[in-house]
């Protein structure tokens, strides 16, 4: 059986910069749920978690029904922004060429993200990248990171072994998920958590540019 090399990417903070959209939607959601507005830096810290987990981190003392209200309001705010053409999730410089080169070199590509199926599909379609990916794992079908379910399913979809799989992300949640799943973890410095945090959480290295990331994957 031929060896399958699988590279699984986080989305927000790794492929695309959606922090402004996330912060805006979260502020609107908290206002609708009558919760104190979270600070932007607090919101950026929880990017990558599933939405219910993120809200619980930001409003740990809120009643479950209030947290659920905020979750629903966030979904509505994000969906409306997309429908009205206000949603901006630009790719980081160099990401599209990197993905196309890895695909051409025979890597099987995947995504493991706290986004919804709809949100991830829209992001990839907007940037013309959907056809590059074999496996897409989202919070709609799995427990929140750092639970290993998304990576385990990605490996099953691709027919890849842990030794031939790498998780690439910008948060400690990505690194911890990789460690739990027994795969190599590579961090990127252009996202939402600091280099030292990523290394402490299990990253074998942290790339400063997509070009450096490509070299680390060799």
Check residue 21 and give its pLDDT: 86
- The average pLDDT across 191-201 equals 96
CA 213, CA 200: separation in Å to the nearest integer?
Answer: 19
Find how far residue 14's CA is from the centre of its chain. 7
**80-101: per-residue pLDDT in tens?**
988 888 888 999 999 999 999 9
Q: CA-CA distance, 51 to 115, in Å (whole number)?
A: 8
Strand partners, 110: 8, 135
Does residue 166 have a cis bond before it (omega within 30 degrees)? Answer: no
Residue 135 tokens, joined: 């496996």
- Cα–Cα dist 9/109, whole Å: 8
pTM of the complete model? 0.91
How far apart, in whole angstroms, are the C-alpha atoms of residue 143 and residue 114?
9
Return the pLDDT at 40. 86
pLDDT score of 1:
64
* The token pair that represents 151 in the structure block: 């990576």
DSSP 164: G
Give the bridge partners for 135, in sequence order. 110
Map out the domains of the chain with their CATH numbers: 6-17+89-217 (3.40.50.1000), 19-83 (1.10.150)
pLDDT at 73: 96
- Please write the tens of the pLDDT for every residue from 122-178: 999 999 999 999 999 999 999 999 999 999 999 999 999 999 999 999 999 999 999
């Amino acid at each position: 059986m031929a060896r399958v090399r699988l590279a699984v990417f986080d989305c927000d903070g790794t492929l695309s910069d959606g922090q402004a959209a996330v912060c805006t939607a979260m502020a609107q959601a908290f206002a609708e749920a009558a919760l104190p507005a979270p600070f932007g830096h607090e919101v950026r810290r929880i990017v990558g978690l599933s939405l219910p987990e993120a809200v619980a981190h930001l409003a740990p003392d809120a009643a479950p029904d209030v947290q659920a209200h905020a979750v629903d309001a966030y979904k509505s705010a994000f969906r409306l922004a997309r429908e009205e053409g206000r949603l901006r999730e630009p790719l980081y410089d160099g990401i599209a060429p990197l993905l196309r080169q890895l695909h051409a070199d025979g890597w099987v590509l995947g995504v493991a993200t706290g986004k919804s199926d709809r949100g991830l599909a829209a992001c990839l379609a907007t940037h013309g990248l959907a056809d590059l990916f074999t496996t897409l794992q989202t919070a709609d079908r799995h427990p929140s990171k750092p639970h290993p379910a998304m990576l385990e399913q990605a490996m099953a979809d691709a027919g890849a072994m842990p030794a031939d799989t790498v998780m690439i992300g910008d948060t400690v949640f990505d690194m911890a998920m990789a460690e739990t799943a027994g795969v190599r973890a590579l961090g990127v410095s252009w996202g939402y958590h600091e280099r030292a945090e990523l290394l402490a959480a299990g990253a074998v290295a942290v790339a400063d540019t997509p070009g450096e990331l490509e070299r680390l994957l060799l």
